[in-house]
């Protein structure tokens, strides 16, 4: 099976070809980088409209070059389906990507597959790790969730009660005048920092970042060294995520954890999760960096699983959903859970 995936929920205009036979993934991305401030929805949509045709064209050319000679498929690129991210994300960006996907599927005369972006962040870790039934921690820009598969759906065991984890970090860096995205800069600065006290907010299986962000901004305004605040911010936020991930493993009696989302690029977060898992005899897996932040590779990989079980969409039913939650997705591509 060969699936062309398209991602464009916010900042990454991305296209990918996933070939299940050779298990190869070619990803082409073009990121929107704001001149100042954070992600502006209108500017992000303008970037999406400009960048999407080019990334798709590059991947299509690659698909044509690598098309099998036997010519079983009836298009030159030998693509079996077009998968696209239906949500969650910024409405104007999603609509551009969906329009591109519908047009491409119609031109190639292949089915359309609508992928939930959060479930794709999770499934890429499961696909790459080979874990059967892991708990997943999605630590991305606009979201933070703990998910487990039960009774045909990915259930949200715990989540942020306010902003996503990456967005929280980015709001802090915006306050101190650093350009977007702030996460990698905080990681760098934290290397020279020392701990200061910041609020730690975990309530049951849920957690909150807004109080800690205000406290971090105040700490810098009050004269604390930026490096110290960055260090404390990472230690506190990642400890919160690690605590809830551990509780999720414990409550479900699961011994596999996968990480998803752009904040998963942070080595300190991976180290904390790795240590926690090792201490309890669980296995931990984080995909390679290119598959952690938004990318069309994860859309193509989940798109292939959905296509193979016939989970496709008619154009009439292909509307986007900016608030598409992971637990709204009927998981058609997995056999029933063991529990
Ligand atoms: P979502 O996937 O929830 O829709 P998104 O598209 O913004 O949100 P991603 O692409 O998964 O999310 O992640 C982007 C976020 O990752 C940004 O907030 C960025 O600051 C953060 N990030 C990237 N690298 C690092 C890092 N090394 N440490 C911490 N955060 C990081």
Q: Tokens 């005369």 appear where?
A: 109
List, in order of start, the domains of the chain with CATH numbers. 2-120+294-328 (3.30.420.40), 133-291 (3.30.420.40)
Residue nearest to atom 30 of ligand 1 (CA): 183
- Note the pLDDT of residue 71: 58
DSSP state string for 288-303: -GGGTSS-HHHHHHHH
* CA 26 – ligand 1 centroid, Å: 21
On whether the CB atoms of residues 111 and 146 are closer than 8 A, the answer is no
- Note the pLDDT of residue 336: 65
Q: 336: which DSSP letter?
A: P
- Note the pLDDT of residue 339: 45
Residue nearest to atom 13 of ligand 1 (CA): 262
**Low pLDDT (below 50) residues in the chain:** 338-339
Which residues partner with 116 through β-bridges? 87
CB of 90 within 6 A of ligand 1: the answer is no
Helix (H) or strand (E) holding 153: strand 153-159
**Which tens digit of pLDDT belongs to each residue from 266-317?**
999 999 999 999 999 999 999 999 999 999 999 999 999 999 999 999 999 9
- Note the pLDDT of residue 337: 53
88: preceding bond cis by omega (within 30 degrees): yes
User: In this structure, is the dihedral angle defined by the CA atoms of residues 220, 222, 223 and 228, taken in order, positive or negative?
Assistant: negative
- Note the pLDDT of residue 13: 97
CB of 261 within 6 A of ligand 1: the answer is yes
Calculate the alpha carbon distances from 301 to 35, 45, 136, 189, 306 in Å: 32, 25, 17, 35, 9
Token representation of residue 92: 């104007």
- Note the pLDDT of residue 39: 87
- Compute CA 150 distance to the chain's CA centroid, rounded to the nearest angstrom: 21
| 327: Cβ contacts below 8 Å, ≥ 6 apart | 153, 154, 155, 156
* CA 310 – ligand 1 centroid, Å: 32
CB of 141 within 6 A of ligand 1: the answer is yes
* CA 262 – ligand 1 centroid, Å: 4
CB of 263 within 6 A of ligand 1: the answer is yes
Residue nearest to atom 2 of ligand 1 (CA): 140
Helical segments of the chain, H only: 41-66, 91-108, 117-129, 165-175, 183-190, 210-221, 226-252, 267-279, 296-308
On whether the CB atoms of residues 133 and 285 are closer than 8 A, the answer is no
* CA 265 – ligand 1 centroid, Å: 8
């Amino acid at each position: 099976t060969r699936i062309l995936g398209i991602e464009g929920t916010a900042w990454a205009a991305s296209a990918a070809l996933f070939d299940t036979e050779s298990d190869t993934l070619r990803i082409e991305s073009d990121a929107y980088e704001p001149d100042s401030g954070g992600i502006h929805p209108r500017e992000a949509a303008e970037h999406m409209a400009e960048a999407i045709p080019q990334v798709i064209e590059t991947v299509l050319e690659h698909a044509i070059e690598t098309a099998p000679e036997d010519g079983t498929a009836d298009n030159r690129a030998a693509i079996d389906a077009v998968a696209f991210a239906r949500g969650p994300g910024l409405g104007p960006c999603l609509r551009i990507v969906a329009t591109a996907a519908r047009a491409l599927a119609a031109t190639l005369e292949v089915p359309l597959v609508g992928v939930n972006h959060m479930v794709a962040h999770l499934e890429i870790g499961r696909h790459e790790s080979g874990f059967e039934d892991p708990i997943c921690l999605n630590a991305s820009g606009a979201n933070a969730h703990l998910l487990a598969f039960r009774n045909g759906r990915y259930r949200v065991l715990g989540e942020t009660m306010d902003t996503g984890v990456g967005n929280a970090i980015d709001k802090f860096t915006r306050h101190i005048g650093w350009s977007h995205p702030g996460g990698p800069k905080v990681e760098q600065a934290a290397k020279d920092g020392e701990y200061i006290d910041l609020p730690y907010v975990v309530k049951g299986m849920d957690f909150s970042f807004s109080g800690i962000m205000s406290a971090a901004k105040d700490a810098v305004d009050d004269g604390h060294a930026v490096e110290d605040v960055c260090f404390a911010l990472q230690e506190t936020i990642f400890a919160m995520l690690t605590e809830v991930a551990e509780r999720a493993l414990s409550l479900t009696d699961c011994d596999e954890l996968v990480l998803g989302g752009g904040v998963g690029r942070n080595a300190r977060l991976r180290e904390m999760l790795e240590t926690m898992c090792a201490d309890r005899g669980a296995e931990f897996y984080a995909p390679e960096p290119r598959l952690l932040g938004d990318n069309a590779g994860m859309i193509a990989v989940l798109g292939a699983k959905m296509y193979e079980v016939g989970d496709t969409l008619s154009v009439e039913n292909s509307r986007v959903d900016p608030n598409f939650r992971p637990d709204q997705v009927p998981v058609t591509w997995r056999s029933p859970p063991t529990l």
